[in-house]
């Protein structure tokens, strides 16, 4: 008995020793080489994998690009005749382009992925590098097109969705009947007969601090009225930049850009109506739109009786269609959305006016799910709910007024299936006749011919290569199987599909969906640290749903990790309640759901080591990844955070006020990585591009400052000249090294002693 016990003990010790040796093999130079070379290893191993179909104008013809042995080719299909052929002579085009550009191109490796048919399909156009080219298909002559007007230097954004109200300009807007011109002079609205120099002022109340915006000026269809916005400017915040290492000079350069932030005073537009003949001015009462975040462009009714605009109230809890009577200037609310949390105007707003506004197709989450409604344009009442159920409309493809039908995208309609898979449907205005246009249990991307007679359905899953079919819209009849992706060689090269995994979230009833990537040399006898790739932005959902031959998460897994991605509560494309978790609560980032998901995986797989969990992310993911370390140190141990919007008061106004609300409250500080930096317990690497024009770089620098004040130890990588990025190939390497060192306990390769370019780094995601 004693000998038997000793034998078992010796065997256990031997097993543990072997496991420790196996574990030490993770994170080696060979693992790095496999990770960095994965893209090249898998490239070109798929055949007949189609890209999205592109219909040519109003014709029944379309083209797409597909993978073939040795590269890619462009295919042209006629849906009427089912004729299928190469879109052009690839050999001739390659030869002509090689001569024109003094480069060497082959037929199956052309330097572009998109084409545009032009001149009645007698030529094609495409872009290579920064130039636009045209190829005449009669003789395959190639010429460079004149360059488009471009701005030099850094590209700046205002932080607002779409253009701000433009400052006065001197150009004029011609009336629909061609008889009049309206323009801005000395900040006021003027009109004159077309072709004349002298004019008449319609307003006298404009000034530098309350100007009429030419961009907003709109004539009525009968040319008898003009409407415009008078704008009181808000605070014009600027973000300052120092470009430390410019390529063209030794000394640094200085830049600035307009960038509105949460809480800033915004431009205040006031609609004003002018009757041309009487020179009457009517300032529209703003009782229905007292505190605008934004007013949309003025749109006149075709019958000249009124104009409309949409009012997005500051804080995004009121969204209205406002109609102004053209005779009296009186405003009324046509439709008003007033949710308790937020109205997702950035992705879930849809409006289609029927019969000049007598009816309106409107999108709303008023019943708890994103659906379409038929509204009475006169009363604003719901005539009927068009779509209904515990699923969501994802977008509208077409509204057919004559047939009173809607073609739309939706997800979540099939119980037990992935609720994020997009399917396509057709339905009547009255909610009858719901017809599924897609069938396969997969994620679908459909393109319709201009007359909606035909459609190409391309579908795939993370474990299923893309298939493309041509169908007839009337009866869904399959006209042709266009392509069926072949991945036999890809599998032989070591590709393995990620695992789709679900677990119950914090409410113990809602499925949380994620994917799991394992290394290609995966051994179930090992224990693997886990790394989560997080992006928890409430504007969408982010876990991959379609097929891809390469994913950067797979490359990271090759180092000896299991890498995962999860959509927790607070992200979009599920119910309103699922989404509302983000309301004034971005610091939550779905972590209660994510941690339960990890624990469920660990309960199923013994090799899934949740005592060693790392997390990384970029932008909003940069905020969330560091938040994981600060707010959940018992679970997340190591973080690499890139260009994060670490304090929602520091980031662009439109994104942050959408979810965190206005006026600014204590919720902003509660979610702030700056205010909570003192909580740091794990290992942290911050990455920042000094010229980030998406998120103010000061957001990360303030985290650095707070960590130093709290006497915390951390790592920081500033990238000179870089913008909004996770660091490219260099950032990938540093991120890999950080996790290898702190999760595997292995010293990464000494890159200073390894010949440059010995291995090519994979691009980060």
CA nearest neighbour of 466 among 543, 410, 546, 542: 546
Q: Which residue would you say has higher pLDDT here, 197 or 444?
A: 444
Give 312: exposed, middle or buried? Use CB within 10 Å, 0-12, 13-18, 19+: buried
Rounded-to-integer distance, Cα 107 and Cα 255, Å = 44
382-418 b/e (C-beta count within 10 Å ≥ 16 → b): eeeebbeeebbbbebbebeeeeebbbbbbbbbeeeeb
Residue 92 — pLDDT band, cuts 50, 70, 90?
very high
Cα–Cα distances in angstroms (integers) from residue 390 to residues 316, 338, 413, 538, in the given order: 24, 21, 7, 19
Residue 12 scores a pLDDT above 70:
no
In the chain, % of residues over pLDDT 70 = 92
Model-level pTM?
Answer: 0.93
**Would you state the structure tokens that stand for residue 425, as one six-digit string?**
């449907």
pLDDT at 588 over 70: yes
Q: Where do the domains of the chain lie, and which CATH numbers do they carry?
A: 16-43+503-753 (3.40.50.1820), 54-144 (no CATH)
Number of H helices, E strands in the chain: 13, 44
**What tens digit of pLDDT does each residue of 630-671 get?**
999 999 999 999 999 999 999 999 999 999 999 999 999 999
Can you give the C-alpha Rg of the chain in angstroms?
A: 29
Instruction: Provide the pLDDT confidence category of residue 147 given band limits of 50, 70 and 90.
Output: confident
> Taking 70 as the threshold, does the pLDDT of residue 537 lie above it?
yes
Judged against a pLDDT cut of 70, whether residue 163 lies above it is answered with no
48 touches 490 (CB < 8 A): no
* 204: three-class secondary structure by DSSP: coil
pLDDT in tens, 358-369: 999 999 999 999
Nearest residue to 230 (alpha-carbon basis) of 170, 286, 306, 303: 286
Task: Check residue 574 and give its pLDDT.
Answer: 98
pLDDT band at 129 (very low <50, low <70, confident <90, very high): confident
User: What average pLDDT score do residues 101-129 get?
Assistant: 97
- Total residues belonging to the chain: 765
Q: What percentage of the chain has pLDDT greater than the value 90?
A: 91
Over residues 132-151, mean pLDDT:
86
pLDDT value, residue 152:
38
pLDDT of residue 758: 53
Mean pLDDT of 285-310: 98
pLDDT category at 757 given cuts 50, 70, 90 is low
How many C-beta neighbours within 10 Å does residue 247 have? Answer: 6
Question: Above 90 in pLDDT, residue 457?
Answer: yes
Task: Check residue 142 and give its pLDDT.
Answer: 97
d(CA 63, CA 55): 7
Query: What is the pLDDT, as a whole number, of residue 170?
Result: 53
- β-sheet with 61-68: strand ranges across: 54-55, 61-68, 71-78, 84-86
Token pair recorded at residue 280: 């009457």
Q: Say whether 494 sits in a helix, a strand or coil.
A: coil
Burial code of 546-561, b = ≥16 C-beta within 10 A, e = fewer? bbbbbbbbbbbbbbbb
Helix/strand/coil for 15 = helix
Q: Looking at the predicted structure, is the pLDDT value of residue 160 above 80?
A: no
Neighbours of 185 (CB within 10 A): 14
Q: Which sign, positive or negative, has the C-alpha torsion 597, 600, 601, 602?
A: positive
Three-state DSSP class for 604? helix
Q: Look at residue 232 and give its three-state secondary structure.
A: strand
Q: What is the mean pLDDT of residues 584-609?
A: 98
């Amino acid at each position: 008995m004693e000998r038997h016990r000793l034998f078992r003990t010796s065997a256990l010790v031997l097993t543990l020793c072997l496991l420790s040796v196996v574990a030490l093999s993770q994170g080696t130079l060979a693992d790095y080489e496999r990770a960095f070379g994965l893209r090249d290893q898998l490239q070109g191993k798929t055949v007949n994998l189609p890209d999205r179909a592109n219909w040519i104008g109003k014709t029944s013809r379309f083209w797409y690009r597909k993978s073939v042995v040795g590269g890619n080719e462009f295919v042209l299909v006629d849906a009427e005749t089912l004729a299928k052929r190469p879109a052009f002579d690839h050999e001739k085009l390659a030869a002509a382009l090689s001569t024109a550009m003094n480069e060497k191109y082959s037929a199956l490796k052309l330097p572009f992925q998109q084409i545009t048919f032009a001149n009645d399909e007698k030529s094609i156009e495409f872009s290579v590098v920064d130039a636009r080219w045209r190829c005449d298909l009669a003789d395959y002559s190639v010429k460079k097109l004149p360059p488009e007007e471009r701005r030099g230097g850094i590209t700046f954004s205002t932080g607002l969705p779409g253009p701000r109200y433009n400052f006065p300009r001197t150009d004029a807007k011609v009336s629909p009947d061609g008889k009049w011109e309206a323009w801005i002079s000395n900040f006021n609205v003027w009109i004159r007969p077309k072709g004349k120099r002298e004019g008449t002022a319609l307003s006298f109340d404009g000034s530098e601090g309350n100007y009429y915006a030419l961009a907003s000026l709109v004539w009525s269809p009968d040319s008898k009225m003009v409407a415009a916005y008078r704008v009181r400017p808000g605070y014009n915040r600027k973000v300052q930049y120092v470009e430390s290492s410019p390529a063209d000079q030794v000394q640094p350069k200085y830049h600035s850009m307009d960038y509105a932030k949460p809480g800033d005073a915004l431009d205040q537009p006031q609609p004003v109506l002018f009757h041309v003949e009487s020179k009457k001015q009517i300032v529209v009462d703003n009782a229905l739109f007292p505190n605008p975040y934004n007013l949309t462009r003025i749109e006149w009714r075709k019958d000249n009786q009124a104009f409309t605009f949409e009012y997005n109230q500051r804080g995004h809890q009121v969204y209205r269609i406002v109609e102004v009577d053209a005779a009296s200037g009186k405003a009324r609310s046509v439709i008003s959305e007033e949710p308790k949390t937020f109205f997702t105007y950035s992705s879930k707003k849809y409006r289609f006016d029927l019969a000049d506004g007598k009816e309106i197709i409107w999108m709303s989450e008023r019943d708890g799910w994103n659906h379409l409604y038929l509204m009475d344009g006169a009363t604003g009442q719901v005539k009927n709910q068009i779509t209904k159920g515990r699923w969501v409309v994802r977008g509208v493809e077409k509204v057919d007024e004559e047939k009173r039908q809607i073609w739309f995208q939706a997800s979540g309609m099939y119980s037990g299936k992935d609720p994020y898979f997009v399917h396509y449907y057709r339905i009547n205005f009255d909610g009858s006749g719901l017809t599924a246009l897609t069938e396969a249990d997969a994620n679908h991307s459909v393109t319709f011919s201009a007359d909606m007679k035909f459609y190409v359905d391309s579908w795939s899953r993370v474990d299923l290569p893309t298939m493309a079919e041509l169908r007839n819209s009337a009866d869904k009849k399959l006209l042709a199987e266009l392509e069926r992706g072949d991945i036999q060689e890809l599998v032989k090269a070591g590709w393995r599909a990620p695992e789709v995994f679900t677990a119950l979230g914090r409410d113990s009833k809602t499925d949380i969906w994620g994917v799991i990537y394992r290394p290609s040399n995966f051994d179930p006898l090992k224990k693997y640290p886990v790394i989560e790739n997080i992006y928890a932005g409430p504007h969408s959902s982010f876990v991959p749903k379609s097929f891809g031959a390469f994913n950067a998460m797979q490359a990271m897994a090759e180092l000896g990790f299991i890498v995962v991605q999860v959509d927790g509560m607070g992200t979009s494309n599920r119910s309103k309640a699922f989404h509302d978790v983000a309301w004034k609560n971005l610091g939550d980032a779905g972590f209660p759901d994510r941690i339960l998901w990890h624990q469920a995986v660990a309960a199923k797989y013994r090799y899934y080591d949740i005592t060693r969990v790392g997390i990384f992310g970029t932008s909003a993911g940069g905020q969330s990844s560091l938040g994981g370390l600060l707010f959940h140190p018992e679970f997340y141990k190591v973080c690499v955070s890139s260009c994060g919007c670490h304090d929602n008061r520091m980031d662009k106004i439109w994104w942050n006020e959408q979810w965190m609300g206005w006026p600014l409250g204590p919720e902003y500080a509660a979610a702030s990585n700056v205010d909570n930096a003192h909580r740091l317990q794990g290992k942290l690497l911050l990455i920042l591009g000094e010229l980030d024009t998406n998120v103010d770089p000061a957001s990360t620098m303030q985290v650095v400052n707070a960590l130093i004040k709290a006497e915390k130890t951390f790592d920081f990588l500033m990238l000179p000249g870089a913008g909004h990025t996770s660091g490219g190939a260099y950032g990938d390497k540093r991120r890999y090294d950080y996790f290898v060192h702190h999760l595997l306990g292995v010293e990464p390769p000494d890159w200073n002693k390894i010949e440059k370019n010995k291995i090519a780094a994979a691009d980060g995601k």
